[in-house]
């Protein structure tokens, strides 16, 4: 069965600093990988996804993520964060052979400080 780990439940960072949010997964088959962002009292919005091909994926709002198959990781990065990036970030995995059902990680709360 697939599972997703987000090692950091909270990440505080100063404005304009770089940030990395970590995501590791376990699965016995090939997977699709996703990052979502959730602002307070809102639904989740897709940031980016990895399906195949280049392991470096660029998304919205200046975020990017790199798929590392050997380390089963899909870490999210941004070189310079803004106050408006303060939100909850969720990593999700979907197995090729399991249909559409996702498994979500527990989330990482990014707090950008002035």
Interface residues toward other proteins, by CB under 8 A: 9, 32, 34, 36, 41-46, 49, 51, 90, 92, 94, 96, 99-102, 104-107
Residue 29 Cβ vs other proteins, minimum distance, rounded to whole Å: 11
Other CB atoms within 10 Å distance of the CB of residue 24: 18
Residue 80 Cβ vs other proteins, minimum distance, rounded to whole Å: 25
Do the beta carbons of residue 56 and residue 109 sit within 8 Å? no
Specify the residue, 43 or 114, whose C-beta has the smaller distance to other proteins: 43
Other CB atoms within 10 Å distance of the CB of residue 99: 8
């Amino acid at each position: 069965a697939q599972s997703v780990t987000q090692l950091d439940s909270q990440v505080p960072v100063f404005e304009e600093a770089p940030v990395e949010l970590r995501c590791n997964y376990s699965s016995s088959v090939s997977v699709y990988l996703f990052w979502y962002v959730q602002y307070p009292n809102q639904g989740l919005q897709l940031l980016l996804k990895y399906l195949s091909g280049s392991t470096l994926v660029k998304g919205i709002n200046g975020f990017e993520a790199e798929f590392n198959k050997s380390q089963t990781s899909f870490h999210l990065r941004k070189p310079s964060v803004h106050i408006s990036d303060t939100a909850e970030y969720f990593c999700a995995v979907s197995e090729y052979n399991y249909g559409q059902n996702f498994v979500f990680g527990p989330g990482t709360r990014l707090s950008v400080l002035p």
